[in-house]
Structures are given as C-alpha cells and as structure tokens.
C-alpha cells in the first residue's frame, strides 16, 4: 500500500472545508487525519474528462472506498459531510462532478450519461493503487439518482449504497399527480445551474429566483415566464415542462429506480416526512423488499433541506457503510425500519414498512363534519369555485424551500375555495402509520381541474397543522360524479385524545404546483384562465391506515459487533 505521504499531490483539505466539518455536531470523534488529492481526471466512456477529489486517511493499511457523484460541485456541503467526515472514519472518498458541472467536461444532461459515467468511474477506480475492490456509494437528492443509475448494472465491487432523500424517477419529480411541480422544479434547476459554480454564485441565483418567483408564478405562458427567475433559458426544464405524459418517449430511460427490482446490493434509504422525495424513497423500499435485498429505512421529522443537518441521518449512513464495507454491524439497529412519530415526537422501531394495520374510512358530512360511517344527512354535494386568477396558495408541506414542513393552516382554511371536514374530538389517541389517501366522488363543470387533499390535526385551541397531502390532476367526462383517488403520501402520526382529524380539499397549492388554468391546455404554453366549479359528493372519504400497535417511543437495540474491540475500518481479508 502506498502511504499518503508518498503522494506529491496530497494536500490538507481547504481551511473552509475543515471549518465546515468542525461545525458538524454530534458526530463520532475522528479516527484519522485526512488528506486530499484535488482535481483528479477520470475519463468517461466517450473521452470526457470528469473531475474528482480524493479524500483519504493519513495512515498505512487498506481502506474501502466510498463514491459520491454530484452535479452540484465538490465543495459545500459534500466536501465536509462526505469527504472529510468519512475519510476521518477510515474510508477513501471520491467526490466527482458529473459531466458539464464543477469543471468536468462534456455536456450536462439530466440523466442520459449517468449510468455510463458511473461505470467508467468504477473502471478508473480499479486502476488506482489504493483501491481494494470494496466500494460503497452515498449521496443525497440527485446524488441518489447517480447511485441508482450505477445500480442498473451493479459492478461486482459495489457492496453497499446509502441513498439519502434520494431521487430515482425524474418524471414523477417534475409532474407529481400529473401537475407540474413549479416551485420545486425552479428551485432544483437553480441549484443545478449554480451550486457547482461556488457558494457566491449559488447565493446570487437563489436571491434572483426569490425576487422573480411571484411574477413567474402569476404570468403565462410558463414556458416563457420562468426565464427571468433563472437568468436565461434552460432547455432541460422546458423539455420537462412540455412533456407531462409519463409515457412520452422523452422520458425513456429516465426512471433509474427499476434497478431496485432485482438489486442485491445492501441499500439504506433515508428520508423525511416533509421531504419532496419521500414517495420515491418509499417506492424504492417496497421494490427492494420484494427483491429480497438487504435494506433499511429511516424517516425523520425532516424536510428535504433539513434531513442531513442532524446526527441521526449521518450516523445511520456511517453505520451502514461500516456494516457492509468493514464487516462491523455494531452500529446498526436491530430493526429494519426506524420512523419519527409525529404528534408524539418520538422515534419508533419497526420490523417493516408499513406496519400491520387496518384501513379506516372517515366520510364527509354536512356542515363540514367527518364521520367514521356514512352520515344519514349527507345527500347534496358540496362545491367550491376554483379561480386560477386567484389560485389557492400552498402552505408548508414537502417543499424544497425554507417554508416546508408543518405549518398553521388556519388562514388557508378560511378561504372560500377550501373545504374542510373535521371529526369530533377524539376520545382516545389514534395511531396512523402508512399511506394515506382520499377516495372522492367528484364532478367538475369544465371537465378539467386539480384536486388537492390534505390531512391535518386540529389541536384543542383550534389550530390546524398539516400532516401529509397530495394532488391529482383530473380530466373528467360526463355530468355525473367520478370516482377519484388522491394519494396523500404517508405518515407515522399519533393524533392525541381531545384533538380532531381534518380533511382539507381544494383546487390546488400554488406555487408548489403550477395552477390549473381550467382549459386543458399544455402547462408550458397555456395562456387562458378559466374558473371551474368542483363538487364533492356524499360517499367521499378520508382513508387512514390505523396501526395495530401503539407507536410508542423506545430506544433502539443495536446489533452486536462481529468481533469485540474492533476499532478501525481497515480492510484485512475481503474476498475479491
């Protein structure tokens, strides 16, 4: 093994990276000092030069490698969070900029090159004298997509994956429920265009988008109005906006999540109840379980931007890598699934997700009531008028912005275009765990509308706070009501005795979703606004998965270490 001191290109990590690492709290003490080889050139399959930084322990011996491939640059936060932190714990860490970003050559593309570039990077690793043949991957958001792309044809060296708040399906990212995710699309595009250029450029781009977002959101057509917010035209965003149909050839090959259907590489999934990518992570967990893959699931009280700011997610990530790259499972919890329980604000360990339970329906009634059986007085439909010139605003929920998460919905629910249905105060706590949905009987006078459904908890003071939600774009034919199911994501939540359950129904959540114009025109080119009357008929219901067991908080049991006293993540005798 060539020691670090023998490499003339090795340097200390930059001062600002070391400072950022010191600011990360509640992490284990470092085992090794760290050095870095910056700007290594990795040849892609087509000859493009992909730049990478190599972090490693300043020690002799063999250490496994962790790879993170990012379109957001190799600096903040990845250098401290992955590069220095994991190298301190006994890993070689390779941070690579995807093509067309962070100095890497080639042309940036949303997904077309990730699988081939990942394979080319592993081929390059095989030629490095420090590479032992033991590889893991890690990464958040789009860094999850690059992992799934590599897992489409997993190399034999790949022993573990850690997908944090990860993406795998680009169509459903841009068009959840059939509506264009306007705010999420703009913020993520801004980050992709600017973050790899450095912190100052990222801050300038963020301020520009914040300044222009209100005008972008209220101006048609969207295919033109977004340009000032991002400082220029963005072809991949326009293409995503112009192709809402998941079956469109434009999206062929964009869903890397199919890798999970046959994957055998141990994979840890981490998300948050208010993460914009929660549903994608839950979908992958179900696929991995059906495939018989060793997997774990951690869901905290987090948004997309807060999930990695605390010790839980980073601790779970390190434990997974140590278990599968270093043969040290001592940090793994005994249970496969760990979730944070809303309402109770505690953690709960589960053998699987969702836990055993029974669906229970609460039916809408007159006067905004919600009943556990069909009320006898519910005969006439309840209606609201959705006006796209004054669209129903978004409040909290799974956003990419700082406004994400649980919020007071009182002002929102006072609007005329929002219907609410509320139970009587609960006589005992109610434990909900699993996917939530609304089964609605709906009619729309124009035939075109969105239906936004939200589950809220109303406390003893009358404050209504969102738990989970979802939106479904409708194209209806005929005069009678249609049976519509609105998937409202999932939750683990304890509704307290004395509190009430509320179902909220409206015609949108703007600018989280682009407003439905009411005309059926394509979202990128629509220029006309047409109000619609949305009617909700008796028999419509909120469906909650009630857990068979109470979601009581408890401290997790830990798996025993393979051998007592093992202190390092050195590779001693792994099979090739």
138-187: pLDDT as tens digits: 999 999 999 999 999 999 999 999 999 999 999 999 999 999 999 999 99
d(CA 470, CA 508): 10
Residue 484 lies in a domain: yes
Task: Say if residue 376 is in the same domain as residue 512.
Answer: yes
- Which residues, 6 or more positions from 82, have their beta carbon under 8 angstroms from its beta carbon? 66, 68, 93, 95, 138, 139
- Dihedral angle sign, alpha carbons of residues 267, 273, 275, 280: positive
Write out the two tokens for 355.
């836990």
Q: What is the maximum alpha-carbon separation in the chain?
A: 83
Task: Say if residue 439 is in the same domain as residue 525.
Answer: yes
Task: Say if residue 124 is in the same domain as residue 197.
Answer: no
Per-chain mean pLDDT for the chain: 92
Quote the number of domains for the chain: 3
Mean pLDDT of 345-356: 95
Task: Say if residue 71 is in the same domain as residue 197.
Answer: no
Residue 405 lies in a domain: yes
- From 227, 243, 259, give the residue that closes a domain: 243
pLDDT of residue 7: 64
d(CA 93, CA 66): 5
Task: Say if residue 102 is in the same domain as residue 203.
Answer: no
Task: Say if residue 125 is in the same domain as residue 212.
Answer: no
8 Å CB contact between 163 and 139 = yes
Residue 104 lies in a domain: yes
Residue 215: how many CA atoms within 13 Å on its side-chain side?
12
Residue 266 lies in a domain: no
> Residue 487's closest CA among 526, 537, 535, 452?
452
pLDDT of residue 558: 57
pLDDT of residue 380: 86
Query: Strands 295-303 and 267-274: what pairing?
Result: parallel
- From 98, 133, 168, give the residue that closes a domain: 133
Mean pLDDT of 488-515: 98
Task: Say if residue 122 is in the same domain as residue 211.
Answer: no
Residue 345 lies in a domain: no
Grade residue 2 by pLDDT with cuts at 50, 70 and 90.
Answer: very low
Residue 227 lies in a domain: yes
Distance, C-alpha 392 to centroid of its chain: 24
DSSP secondary structure letter of residue 79: I
Task: Say if residue 505 is in the same domain as residue 391.
Answer: yes
Residue 288 lies in a domain: no
- Dihedral angle sign, alpha carbons of residues 69, 285, 399, 463: negative
| Beta carbons within 10 angstroms of residue 319's beta carbon | 21
Question: Can you state the percent helix, strand and coil of the chain, rounding each to 5?
Answer: 25, 30, 45
pLDDT of 571 higher than 80: no
pLDDT of residue 570: 54
d(CA 444, CA 24): 51
Phi and psi of 458, rounded to 5°?
-105, 120
**Strand residue runs (E) in 464-527:** 464-475, 482-495, 500-506
pLDDT of residue 510: 98
Task: Say if residue 365 is in the same domain as residue 217.
Answer: no
Grade residue 12 by pLDDT with cuts at 50, 70 and 90.
Answer: confident
**CATH at 425:** 2.60.120.260
Task: Say if residue 44 is in the same domain as residue 123.
Answer: yes
pLDDT, tens digit (0-9, with 9 covering 90-100), for 194-238: 999 998 999 999 999 999 999 999 999 999 999 999 999 999 999
Task: Say if residue 77 is in the same domain as residue 203.
Answer: no
Residue 389 lies in a domain: yes
- From 195, 225, 243, give the residue that closes a domain: 243
Grade residue 345 by pLDDT with cuts at 50, 70 and 90.
Answer: confident
Task: Say if residue 91 is in the same domain as residue 186.
Answer: no
What is the extent of the structural domain holding 212?
182-243
**CATH at 107:** 3.40.50.1820
The pTM of this model reads 0.93
pLDDT of 18 higher than 90: no
8 Å CB contact between 384 and 417 = yes
d(CA 399, CA 406): 11
């Amino acid at each position: 093994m060539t020691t670090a001191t023998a490499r003339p290109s090795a340097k200390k990590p930059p001062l600002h990276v070391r400072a950022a690492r010191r600011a990360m709290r509640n992490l284990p003490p470092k085992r090794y000092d760290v050095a870095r080889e910056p700007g290594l050139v990795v040849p892609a399959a087509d000859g493009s030069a992909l730049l990478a930084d190599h972090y490693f322990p300043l020690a002799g011996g063999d250490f496994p490698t962790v790879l993170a491939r990012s379109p957001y640059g190799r600096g903040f936060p990845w250098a401290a969070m992955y590069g220095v932190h994991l190298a301190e714990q006994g890993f070689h860490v390779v941070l690579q900029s995807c093509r067309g970003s962070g100095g890497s050559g080639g042309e940036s593309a949303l997904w077309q090159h990730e699988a081939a570039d990942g394979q080319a990077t592993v081929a390059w690793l095989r030629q490095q004298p420090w590479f032992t043949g033991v590889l893991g991957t890690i990464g958040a958001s789009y860094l999850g997509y690059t992992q799934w792309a590599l897992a489409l044809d997993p190399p034999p060296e790949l022993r573990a994956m850690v997908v944090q708040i990860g993406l795998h399906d680009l169509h459903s990212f841009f068009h959840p429920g059939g509506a264009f995710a306007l705010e999420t699309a703009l913020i993520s595009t801004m980050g992709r265009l600017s973050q790899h250029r450095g912190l100052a450029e990222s801050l300038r781009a963020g301020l520009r988008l914040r300044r222009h977002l209100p005008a972008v959101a209220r101006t048609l057509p969207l295919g033109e109005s977004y340009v000032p917010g991002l400082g220029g035209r963005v072809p991949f965003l326009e293409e995503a906006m112009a192709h809402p149909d998941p079956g469109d050839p434009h999206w062929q090959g964009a869903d890397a999540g199919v890798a999970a259907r046959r994957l055998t590489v141990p994979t840890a999934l981490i998300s948050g109840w208010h993460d914009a990518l929660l549903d994608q992570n839950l979908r992958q967990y179900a696929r991995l379980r059906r495939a018989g893959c060793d997997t774990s699931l951690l869901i905290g009280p987090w948004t997309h931007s807060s999930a990695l700011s605390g010790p839980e997610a980073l601790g779970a990530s390190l434990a997974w890598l140590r278990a599968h790259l270093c043969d040290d499972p001592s940090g793994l919890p005994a249970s496969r699934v760990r979730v944070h329980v809303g309402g109770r604000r505690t953690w709960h360990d589960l053998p699987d997700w969702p836990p055993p339970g029974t669906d229970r329906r609460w039916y809408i009634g007159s006067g905004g009531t919600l009943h556990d059986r069909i009320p006898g007085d519910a005969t006439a439909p309840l209606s609201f008028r959705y006006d796209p010139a004054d669209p129903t605003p978004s409040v909290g929920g799974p956003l990419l912005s700082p406004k994400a998460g649980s919020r007071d919905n009182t002002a929102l629910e006072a609007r005329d275009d929002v219907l609410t249905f509320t139970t009587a105060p609960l006589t005992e706590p109610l434990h909900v765990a699993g996917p939530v949905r609304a089964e609605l009987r709906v009619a729309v006078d124009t035939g075109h509308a969105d239906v936004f459904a939200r589950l809220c908890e109303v406390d003893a003071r009358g404050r209504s706070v969102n738990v989970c939600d979802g939106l479904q774009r409708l194209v209806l034919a005929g005069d009678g009501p249609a049976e519509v199911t609105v998937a409202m994501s999932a939750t683990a939540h304890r509704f307290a005795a004395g509190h009430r359950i509320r179902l909220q129904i409206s015609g949108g959540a703007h600018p989280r979703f682009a407003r439905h114009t009411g005309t059926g025109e394509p979202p990128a080119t629509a220029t006309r606004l047409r109000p619609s009357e949305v009617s909700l008929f008796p028999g419509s219901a909120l469906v909650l998965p009630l857990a068979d067991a109470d979601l009581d908080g408890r401290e997790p049991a830990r798996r025993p270490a393979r051998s007592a006293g093992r202190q390092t993540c050195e590779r001693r005798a792994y099979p090739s």
